[in-house]
Structure 1
Amino acid sequence: MEKTGAITPGDFLVLVQRRGGIFHEIIRACKNRNLPMAGADRLRVGAELGVKDLTSLLSYLATPENNLALAEVLRSPLCGVSEAELFELSYGRGQKYLRQVLEAQKERFPGIVSMLRDLRAKSDFMRPYELLEYALTAHGGRERLLARLGTEAEEGIAALLDQALAYERSGVPSLTGFLAWLESDEVEIKRQLESRSDQIRVMTVHGAKGLEAPIVILPDSATPRETVRSEILSQDGLAVWKTRSGEMPEAQVALNEEIKARQSEERMRLLYVAMTRAESWLIACGAGEPPKEDSKSWYAMIRAGLERAGAVSGPAGVELRLSSSDWPADAVNTPLGGRDDSVPSLPAWVAEIPPAPVKQPDPLSPSDLGGEKALPGTAGEAYSEEEAKLRGTALHLLLEHLGDAPDSAREDRAASLMEPFGFPDSQDLIAQASGVLEAPELQFLFGPNALAEVPVTAQLPELGGRQISGAIDRLLITPERILAVDFKSNRVVPDSPQETPEGLLRQIGAYASALQQIYPDVPVETAILWTQTAELMPLPHDIVRDALLRTHIS
């Protein structure tokens, strides 16, 4: 006996023959007694009950019509719906989705409906990790899972969160992508338990090679492993299907016995590994049902060896004990681990209430800087503001997607683009777009050197540093100049830049100011393409800048 000081949790190493039921039961029992545990050396993330519940929640949020996923969430600790309540919700609903039935009974399940609504609303813009953490924290998911499944569920939950972070580092994160990533492979985490820490370690004998501990416990040593588990055997390089023991031909019986002999040799090697991991104490236990033939179990071999070595009967619960020295009579019995459980004092800043975060104003849209957007037209010709915007959107789509279409396919593509709008005069819009695209003097705007629908954002000094965010219809970039062109579908076209409506000038001025910050050494030019007349109107820099300076931001 080498160790005679106080025993700490880190002195214990529990070795099992395989990761079966007793493996997880040992970890669960120790955690239930609040013993410090290093956890399992391997963790199959997808097999954890808490992870399954959270994965079902993510599946439902990704596809709210997934009845099975919603049923799993309702029955999980996250919602706590009983089996009878779930049956009442599901039975007789006809073609309705389970979500619709649940929503109709929101007075009966107000908390559940509110939680699921909130999570669905946030699932569109939260990353998988954020969504999981929000469900676990803001809606008490972690507390509910641990209350039902026990503290051992914490490991699986933490592993799932780690996997969510790992997924987000691999590319652009999305909820459906994360679910597919989880399903594509069985994620198994291997922990490094080699370093000695003040925690009880539980692992297989295979994983313990090279490790040592003052106290080693073999809990399942009474169970012999005499079966050939594989259904397909290999004989002379050929695959052989294993038949029932009473129907085996002689050749397969011999092969089966040969495999058992090799397994027996491997078990003896593992027994040697298990016994030699102990620095001071080796404790062999016989958990489970006693075997019919006890002589081949590790427990029987260790017992026979102890008897030959002169072991004596131990205290109650100990069949045999062999020791080379006695425990010192003056040994001090200290609390487990000798830990200091006093609560440390917290720094003062922990109790301080932090100031409320300053909400940054939303970016401004260049098209919403105020001012008139159109000149007065002839009576009966003007469209409502909403209709004018819709027609402008349709024209933008045509100009964006018809430019690179072959002549033979242009008509079909135009009809397909116009179909969702349902304009009675859609042919007039198509003709207007075709007139612009076919104008010789405008071809350079739709060639390969022109960029379409270019997003731009910047903080503009003319607006007091406020940020704008918009999209430029056409942008041409050359070493000599930058040209930004915006399409306008106004029915009344001004005769000169000076007569251009104020709101349009402010919009173009915002684009020019942003581009000048990006390209400070290159002249920035702007123009409006009037689709009604297929005319490109250059705008002087002073006019658009002055209009931008006249903008009043509330």
Structure 2
Amino acid sequence: MRLILDQAWSARTYYQTEKRELRMIDFDDMMGLCVKLMDERKDLARIIRSGIAYLMVDEFQDTNPLQYDLVCHLVPDLRDPQSPRASELFIVGDDKQSIYGFRGADVRLFRKAVQDIGNEAVTIPTSYRMAPPLADHVNTICAPIFETALDQTIPYSPLKAGRTTYADDAGTLSVLITPPSDIAEDDRKLRELEIAHVVARISGSLSTTRPGDIAVLSRSVAGVSIASRLLHAACIPFQAHGGREFFSRPEVADVRNVLRLCADGGDAVACAAILRSPMFGLTDTEIFEVLSSTDENRLSLTALAAAAQQHPENTSIVRADLLLRQLSDAMMQMPLALFIRHALDVTDWHATLVGDPRREQAIANVDKLIDIVRAEIQRPGSTLRDVIDRISVPDEDDREAEGRFEAEANAVQVMTIHAAKGLEFPVVYITDISTSGRTGTIMMSEQLGATIALADKVIAADGSIVSRPRGLTHAANTMLLKENDRDENRRLLYVALTRAEDHVYLSLQKPIVKSGEVGATKGIAELLRTMVFETECPFPILTSTDEIEGGVFERIEPQMLDRTVVIAPPAAPEMISASGLAALPDDVTAMMSSRFSSTDAMLLGTAVHDALAAMLDATMRNGRTDDEIAEAYAPSSSTLRSVYTEHIRNVVSSTLWSRLHTMPLLVERDFVGLDGETLVTGRIDVAGFITDDHLHVWDWKTNDISTADHAQLLTDVYRPQLDMYVWLVKQRYPHIATVTASLVFTALPITE
């Protein structure tokens, strides 16, 4: 691990040095340097702020910590403990649509900003996009999925339909099932089969639905490519939205490599890439012949010329040598923009696009590239090297948009779920959602930091191969990140479903059943497994095994998989949370009818927990009084606010509250531990050191109860959760002799 970190630091240092020497900055520098400047130049910061009366940040759920730091510099009241409200800042967003974690976005910043602003949040649950029945269907799917999250920091607010005009048949949600097939023996082929069924369904619907009213949303870019190819084969007009990564596109890379090789005939990487590209199409064997044609064993224009002399019968090598020599001479005599078009013409590049579903997009990208080259070469003092650097891939996060082109107006729109955010379509097909989450040798989480996967087997001193003990820390990190992926998958599913106005088709791969056991599901599909395959599905199921007019699908009655013949005992879960051990039995739930819906109960619990944490944690208090903190975290609903106030009063007026302020505390701390193969997680509300070797855990419970009898019933229910908290603390602090725990029911007056 140390070696990897050293290499990473060296790479970072080299990258920073290169930027300084080239007098360039990247996208992160634009924000980071701005924050640094405002830190160092207080006078300049005041001048900048003086020109801003009000600041509104849209799509705030996608904010990363650096961006929020910049916002705090523009609105300093956010960090001023003497200013409980930041009235000049407005944020707009939906935490259920935070899907850019891979860019560093942190959905927790949304809640922090709401707390820092201090004003009452305005919730707008009404959707004017969806037909009312479809909004109900989305609630049916998403409400239980969000409620089962280990970290329930994002309460699900049910959608309310505000749309009043819609067709009689609008508002449907159907599940399209692709069963396993003998011809799809691996995940890639099963994915193609699934998307082929989606395309067949679209084909069968075109007699009543315009192509331009349809969108196909895929979890991955690979799914977009597959859908594009299949729609093209079915002669269905479509437009694929590749999104970003313009400089990484193959046609852009081909032009860039031609420029690099013609400028430097010894550029081995550019030589290998261009010879393998569609422009010349040499095989691996032919490239090896070029490589071995000289004593240097290095690809270059010199090696290519030698190979052409040694293999005159090989027309591909001879053609590549002739054209590249001509192009090297031509580049010195022609304007670069004209040279690029000349290179594409003499290599018959356009002919390689015949039948390619990306043809229009590739041509648009080349046109955009030529515009970039023309603008760069016109800069004073610009050189060929400057042009090549300008069109090189900037870093791993290539944000440049692809070139625009005029597609047929009446065309199916194909894009990733991420690219669809903010858009809407009458008919939405959601497919390719069975892809798994992140994997890799190195994993990094907030709880455990960076860990690395070690080889399962190693060579011992005597030369024998022995098994290595499992790396428990890396296994735990993998499980934590898998849960983070599940959280983001919940939000991705919500975004995908809410793109539709009238109809949704949700495409799933049917898991294989062997010996009575249902096979694994992955990705977003895992969230739908219980609803679709293990219980009676509440939505119509479309299968690909029967025919209907114009397509290959039939509406059938929902079916449940037979799980009565499972003979193997269930495996231990990969991951459990301490709070998940405390499910309320039906008889207890029936005895304690709550005044609130599950969503309101979650909002109340979150507000009470956050307020008490801010009062106990000095870093969160920011100089505020308990009353100021209580007001800052109070729910907007008047009914919830009065109950919230009662809960807070019960706690802060107790002798327990006074005791907590006399001891060292751990507030809102995450704990993890491995119990065999199962990762156990838990967030402890507050723990205090009674003595150096005695730690006591207090767990706030905001259940809507009114009697001590109810509290006693719940104590028995929550006992496994408390036991797990004690176990987790002992795993983290094995030197502590005594760990005890208590429940605190905040709805009742507290007595110790």
Alignment TM-score, normalising by the size of structure 1:
0.47
Larger Rg: 1
